[in-house]
Amino acid sequence: MKNVLFILGTRPEAIKLAPLIKVFKQDKGFITKVCVTAQHRQMLDQVMDFFRIKPDYDLELMKPNQGILQFMANAILKLEPVFDEFKPDVVFVQGDTTTVLAGSLVAFHKTARIAHIEAGLRSHNKLSPFPEEINRIITSHLSSWHFAPTQIAIDNLKKEGITENVYLVGNTVIDALKMGIAEVTAHEKEFLSYFPSIDFSKRIMLVTCHRRESFGAPFVQICEALLHLAEEYKDIEIVYPVHLNPNIKEVAHKLLIHNNIKLISPLEYPQLIWLMNKSFIVLTDSGGIQEEAPSLGKPVLVMRDVTERMEGVVAGTAKLVGTDKQRIIDECSKLLEDKKAYAEMANAVNPYGDGTTSLQILGKVKEALN
């Protein structure tokens, strides 16, 4: 029997690890425990509740508008006793958040083997996403197993000299999406009733934004672009579930006052994927949403200058539009007015996985431990 510890802290980590936690918990060869740092609180708990995962350890570390270094220091201090008690042989971390870096550093010092999920993503820009690009580079160099979603990710690892125990398995985000979308599309009326304020006879533009490098002036430009689009196109409904980070939330609620803009609280995961499936365009800086939208055939305009997820761009369903007000207006207008341009982007493709990633990872870990 091997002891396996999943360490996670934010909403996307919970979504992407939930399918994997489920397959490990069902396997009798492992004692599987879950530790949440609670880098996020409400946004994490929503997902944990939906997937019915109860943490074995909850470090309760979120503070309002937390300093990321202080969070990291606290996470390291509070993770050590968890390792001393449970003595994990294998530690799973996912992605590139501060929870991932803190978890990996402690796991390395405690000589547990680290399995890194969604390994090898790189923007090749230390400052964007900040600080995630550096978090994931360091994590790769601490990890024993690298579960890469795509060939581009494998090539990135190779350039850093990481060629052993690298596995091409797709992204668990698609496992979760496949499970979720089957469930939500079967309950159309129920899901419609969650959005009483939204006019679904209009074309829906789903917006999300939270990256640290967009705080301040870039986010103001994004808001100004949204206001312009809302005024120009009366047949669209801009629906924006606002991230709880005060650097975003306070500005969004101050600037985005318009009849055609619906600011709502962060959505529970099933509501979000249902709404994405109903959307005409997705405008986002989210990593996970960039991966989900191509599977649903939704054009994604990515409000970033670089992305580590070029597969959607190469497949033609995603486009990098940056955070410049006029560029966002132009690219959205093109999709809203030009049917041909829209049709070219609205193709369902699956560059990020086929829904079997969790089972593949379980198989590889078993093989490696035997």
Q: Which of 5, 8, 11, 301 binds ligand UD1 (CB under 6 A)?
A: 11
Residue 115 tokens read as: 């399995």
Task: For the segment 159-218, give every residue that binds ligand UDP (CB under 6 A).
Answer: 208, 210
132 is catalytic: yes
Angstrom distance (rounded) from CA 78 to CA 306? 34
Give the whole-angstrom CA distance, residue 124 versus residue 159. 11
Widest distance between CA atoms in the chain: 62
Residues between 20 and 39 that touch ligand UD1 (CB under 6 A): 39
Of 4, 7, 11, 156, the one binding ligand UDP by CB under 6 A: 11
Q: Which of ligand UDP, ligand UD1, none binds 41 (CB below 5-8 Å, type-dependent)?
A: ligand UD1
42 binds ligand UD1 (CB under 6 A): yes
Residue 292 in contact with ligand UDP, rule: CB under 6 A: yes
Instruction: Determine, following the binding rule CB under 6 A, whether residue 98 of this chain makes contact with ligand UD1.
Output: yes
Q: Which of 13, 118, 308, 331 is catalytic?
A: 118
List the interface residues with ligand UDP, window 255-274 (CB under 6 A). Answer: 266-267, 269, 272-273
Strand order in the sheet with 300-302: 261-264, 236-241, 203-208, 281-284, 300-302, 318-320
Per-residue x/- mask for ligand UD1, residues 171 to 210, rule CB under 6 A? ---------------------------------------x
CA angle 207/294/172 to nearest 5° reads: 100
Closest listed residue to residue 288, CA positions, set 276, 305, 306: 276
Among 2, 25, 41, 327, binds ligand UD1 (CB under 6 A): 41
Secondary structure element (H or E) that encloses residue 150, with its range: none
Burial (CB count within 10 angstroms: exposed 0-12, middle 13-18, buried 19+), residue 122: buried
Binding site for ligand UD1 (CB under 6 A): 10-12, 39-44, 62-66, 68, 97-98, 131-132, 210, 244-246
